[in-house]
Amino acid sequence: MRETIDSVEVCIQAVKIPTYGVGQPQKNPLFLEKRVYQGSSGAVYPYPVIERIEETKTEKEYKAIFLENRYLLIMLLPELGGRVQMALDKTNNYHFIYYNRVIKPALVGLTGPWISGGIEFNWPQHHRPTTFSPVDYRIEESMDGSKTVWMGEIEAMYHLKSVAGFRLYPDRAYLEIDVRLYNPTPFPQTFLWWANPAVHANDDYQSIFPPDVHAVLDHGKRAVSTFPIATGVYYKVDYSPGTDISRYKNIPVPTSYMAYHSDFDFLGCYDHGRRAGMLHVANHHIVPGKKQWTWGNGDFGRMWDRQLTDEDGPYVELMCGAFTDNQPDFSWLQPGEEKHFTQIFMPFKGIGGVKNASKDAAINIEIENNVASLGVYLSSPRQVTVTLRAGAEILLEERCWLSPENWLERVVPLPAGMKAQEVTLSVSEDGRELVSFTPLPQERPEPPAPATPAPPPAEVASNEELFLHGLHLEQYRHATYDPEAYYGEALRRDPLDSRCNNALGLRRLRQGQFAEAEHHFRRAIERLTFRNPNPYDGEPFYNLGLALKYQGRFAEAFDAFYKATWNAAWQDAAYFELAQIESRRQRRESALELLGQALERNQRHHNARHLRVALLRHLAQPDVARKEAAQGVALDPLAYGLHYERFLLDGDPTFETLAEGDVNLYLTLALSYAHAGLFEEATRLLEKAPQHHPMVHYYRGWIFWQAGDTLNADLAFQRGAAASPDYCFPNEIECVPALTTAMERSPSDARAPYYLGLFLYAHRVHEQAIALWERAAALDPNFPTVHRNLGLAYMNQRKDAARSRAAYQLAFALAPDDARIFFELDQLDKRLGKAPAERLAQLSAHLDLVHQRDDLMLEYATLLNIAGRHEDALNALLSHTFHPWEGGEGKVSGQYVLALVEMAKEALQRGQTEAALEYLLRARVYPENLAEGKLPNAAENHIDYYLGLAYGQAGDEARSKEHFIRATQGTIELSLAMYYNDRPSDMAFYCGLAHAALGEPEKAEALFHQLIAYGDAHMEERPSIDYFAVSLPDFLVFEDDLPRRNRVHCLYLKGLGWLGLGKTQEAALALDAALALDPSHVGAVLHRRMIDADLLSWLKKQTQHTPHG
């Protein structure tokens, strides 16, 4: 870092950062169809998932890019998702972005590892799938002295492209981020973009939302709170009568909140101790999202701090969303569309809570006791005029030189009786206003109502609403509600409904079901053209063209695409498709003309420009091609296709530097050439691609086959079949015709049907996928992954438990060292009701695999507890270092507490009071190796109840009564617990026992009857997953039978109620019925054991000796 710099400097430098390693990515494909993640689908295919974090750290070298000017030092890490790792204000040595000096991942990310600190860029959903993966970069210098580091990628889930330019200017104390989001696919795609800066948090920290933010919303807008003073219950914390939740110190639990609405362009924070903060500035019409997230200022949050850093302490995330204002909240990118916006991150200092800000200046005004305290900060040196006026009256006008190192603070008395809303503070330069603010009226609008879930399709009144519900579920990537149920109901009512036929056809198109897609598009067109042949909406014609193109019916596709050009909305996409077909026909001049029309409509249609340059090269117009390529690279600095064309024209090495062995990039680019009939370029690219990947060869074979070269096609298909299947998860729509051709050319190929099955299963064409996997398994019965996939599919799709288990047993026999397959086999056994003793024996026989996975170790400890081997369970938990996963908190600590409470019960029965007290007090404190913290409202009624017994046994009546009273406290929640912060329903049982111990039998009996009544009333319900679920870690392997789970829960509550009333026969019947359905239900096992040991009678005798009433 240099003290004084008059320009911008940029350098690439190797830096060593202490880093905790991660495990190898999963070779088994993970589909996770019902996984809920950040309120939308947690499906990650085609990305492999990393499920293990290492316990030790080493010095690891990273390629860092530093940007520096006289005010700021920025460090970027392209190897970790293109994040800003450090942002330092050199003028006061303040890290205005949280600087984490260690890379310490936790299992928070969509694909596993995630790290805190810096600025993460979440796209196309939250958290970014490649947040822990490398991205491409280029460095650019501009005539104005600014320097820009461009970083970006084409992600593999939806094949969308993001490019972000990180720019510093010589004399400005802000980081400008120039973002371009592009859809290179032929389909409409959804996305969100949240820049996610972390900032250091402490008791002096305050989030600065704009002054017009009076309400904040939770994920999915499912809950609402007033802001900044919360007055009700939010995240199960009662903030009444009023708590300032802009202050980190006041939020005890993990909490998200997002601004309901703001007409201001800024969001920020301020450390009142350091007198410094951070601001984000962007056009609120385009970047409306303003969010705060914290793990909470409590034991739970401090645990997460320890998991994510070694020494840098707590942080808060202040997320800033473009084209989104909530999570989930997705917008559309149409084919060939680019969205472009700018975000500014800048430090400020000295002026307190900002009231308004621009990229040039930030201002604050605080009015108290008729005195206005003013603060003005500038992001660059300027001579400005600071004015405070009330109507025509000027209260202050000061011309001054300000800079990031010299800010202005003034105190101005106001005339008596003047209202704050009459005063305006402004900052201007040579008559141009940089920023101003007039205090807002005191009136607060009513907070908005929370969002509501989509009703069942049969209850929706109109077809239009059915279409909109279905489209919303698609747009927001809902994890558990099926949009096809809404489209299907609409088509049941009206088979020619154009909107739902088009929507369903587009789904079939994405699934590779081209003929079925064609059927729906033709029905949509039939309705749209029933009065005239020229409809208002041309999208079904465009989509029909795609369906025909993928079937190889290019002449018909050409007609459909041309008809789509009659509607302006689809002209650029349709002209591009037409140009590709003309290029295939070797009509290159015609193709150039069509590309010109596409670019006239959309100059940022980067695919069209790439094809245009390629055709100009073919037509021997290299100078024009070079000029076009330069224009395109100016618009898209990471224009991979244009950089490759520059390589073909002049040997420019930029493409190879960018590609760096990225097989996804090679495949994407080769397929774009192939669609235009430029088969030589496509095959040359695939020859340069990493040769270990099977799809490189399958696509080469398909392209040779299209070119009529069947000999080379067959050779390429053979190489694809012989390649290692590790990490080959095809996700391009072109894999459907390519792999279908491979199977036709080589019927003995066992891999082509396996790979095609992966694509189809991931796109929910389950039965076809199963048939293909069965074919693959018959051709190569020694391939474990295909048997594992069949086991998953047989259970989740066909509910065929016997075939599922047989497939899993075969998979594990073929891969006995695969801990993931072993985990899934145990989960299947658990789901099928296998006896816990048998499951425990199976896990005990493979402890080497158990120790590889936290989830297996958790199951092992749970089974030890079920077996009554509580000390063994405790030792197993204490001997293993766990790593938390977001949303899964409470599971490991739950088994830890259970083991100690059960050990305490046994000690009490033996009269070992001191030992019982030790166990119970230990149960209140979680060891660090469990990687879990305790929520402030943690339900510990059972611990307090047994502490009451223990202190009574020890003769300490005061403490005994104190703990029995504590055991009666807390809310009663009897519904099925889904989230980590849900209160366990069996706490009501211990609340009742505590009331009985206190000599309050009426209250005790009322609770026990409540348990029974709830069980009876809800026994036959058919619950569904919460529409607004944010994270449900249980739904990761096999689809849960929620009605069965609910029935078990209700039987369990009835058993507890009867047990509390002393009706042991009825209690035993209810608990036995629960265990018949779920033999691994821990609560039912333990309380059934209480009946066998007549423990309740013993407990009652203990409390009879210590009357507290």
Query: What pLDDT score was predicted for residue 1034?
Result: 57
The answer to whether 120 and 105 have CB atoms below 8 angstroms apart is: no
Query: What pLDDT score was predicted for residue 816?
Result: 99
Cβ burial 665-691 (10 Å sphere, 16+ → b, else e): bbbbbbbbbbbbbbbebbbebbebbee
Contacts (Cβ under 8 Å, ≥6 apart) of 134 = 78, 79, 80, 660
CATH topology for the 968-1109 domain: 1.25.40
Query: What pLDDT score was predicted for residue 1106?
Result: 54
- For 9-349, give the CATH class: mainly beta
Length of the chain as a residue count: 1109
Query: What pLDDT score was predicted for residue 1046?
Result: 95
Residues of the chain with pLDDT under 70: 1-4, 886-887, 1032-1035, 1105-1109
What is the crossing angle of helices 679-688 and 663-675, to 10°? 170
Fold match flag (678-749 vs 968-1109): yes
What Rg value do the Cα atoms of the chain yield, rounded?
32
Percent of the chain with pLDDT over 90: 92
Query: What pLDDT score was predicted for residue 73?
Result: 99
Within the chain, what is the greatest distance between any pair of CA atoms? 102
Query: What pLDDT score was predicted for residue 977?
Result: 81
Query: What pLDDT score was predicted for residue 4?
Result: 64
The pair of three-digit structure tokens given for residue 757, joined into one six-digit string: 């099955």
Query: What pLDDT score was predicted for residue 1028?
Result: 84
Phi, psi of 885 (to 5 degrees): -125, 135
Contacts (Cβ under 8 Å, ≥6 apart) of 457 = 466, 469, 485, 486, 488, 489
Give the C-alpha separation, 1015 to 975, whole Å: 10
Q: What DSSP letter does each residue of 625-643 carry, written as one string?
A: HHHHHHHHHHH-TT-HHHH
Nearest to 181 by CA among 205, 155, 200: 155
The answer to whether 529 and 499 have CB atoms below 8 angstroms apart is: no
DSSP class of residue 247 equals B
Query: What pLDDT score was predicted for residue 1099?
Result: 83
Query: What pLDDT score was predicted for residue 96?
Result: 99
The pair of three-digit structure tokens given for residue 177, joined into one six-digit string: 């981020």
Q: How many CB atoms lie within 10 A of CB 636?
A: 22
CATH number of 678-749: 1.25.40
Contacts (Cβ under 8 Å, ≥6 apart) of 958 = none
Residue extents of the structural domains in the chain: 9-349, 356-437, 678-749, 968-1109
CATH number of 356-437: 2.60.40.1930
Query: What pLDDT score was predicted for residue 1103?
Result: 78
Give Cα separations from 401 to 362, 384, 594, 981, 1028 (angstroms). 15, 6, 56, 53, 52
pTM attached to this predicted model:
0.96
Contacts (Cβ under 8 Å, ≥6 apart) of 1109 = 998, 999, 1000
